[in-house]
Amino acid sequence: MRRWDPALPLRALTELPAAVSAVMSGTRLEAETGPADAIIVLGAAVLPNGQPSGSLLARATAGAALFHEGRAPLVVATGAHHQGPPGEAVVAREILLRAGVPSDRILIEEKSRNTHGNFLFARGLIPEAVRVYVVTEPFHLARALILARKLGFAEPLPWPVLSPAWGRRPDRWRLLLREMGSMALVRAGG
């Protein structure tokens, strides 16, 4: 575990304008095409009743569609549990299975509690992967791609998905603002 850097908040504040620009640019990224080594479905909330949030359902459904299109031979579902079992990866796996992805083509990474961890622990499951699809909402793509590269996926391909929250204006702004702060922290070295 890294030690707290007291200068991080100030550095993040100075990075905020660039972070805002990067997040907004990320919302305009288009899906890339071509073959890849794997599809990484980033984790998202599981509701208290064990059902997927709209984000998790949208991400896992898109991951299954990519698999069925033959874009990659593996799907990695990511994310731990936060409020109790089941975890994000476990719920995403169930969605993938219901969508017809064979169980031997699904890997689950259920240690991570954030996007950094999603890629860190996915790297351990697919050490040889270079080119991966990164499946998440538009607000999250720019930071996710930076973290994917930082953690060893040399050619991350964006695959933006539209979740119900992205379609609701108040939720979209809340997500964008939160992501801008997260991006500022990443750019500041946090």
Along the 190 residues of the chain, how does pLDDT read in single tens digits? 567 788 888 999 999 999 999 999 989 999 998 999 999 999 999 999 999 999 999 999 999 999 999 999 999 999 998 777 899 999 999 999 999 999 999 999 999 989 999 999 999 999 999 999 999 999 999 999 999 999 999 999 999 999 998 888 899 999 999 999 999 999 998 7
The CA radius of gyration of the chain, in Å to the nearest whole number, is 16
Residue type present at position 118: N
Domain boundary assignment for the chain: 31-167
Model confidence, pTM: 0.92
* Contacts (Cβ under 8 Å, ≥6 apart) of 108: 76, 77, 78, 89, 90, 92, 93
CATH assignment of 31-167?
3.40.50.620
Burial of 65 (0-12, 13-18, 19+ CB in 10 A): middle
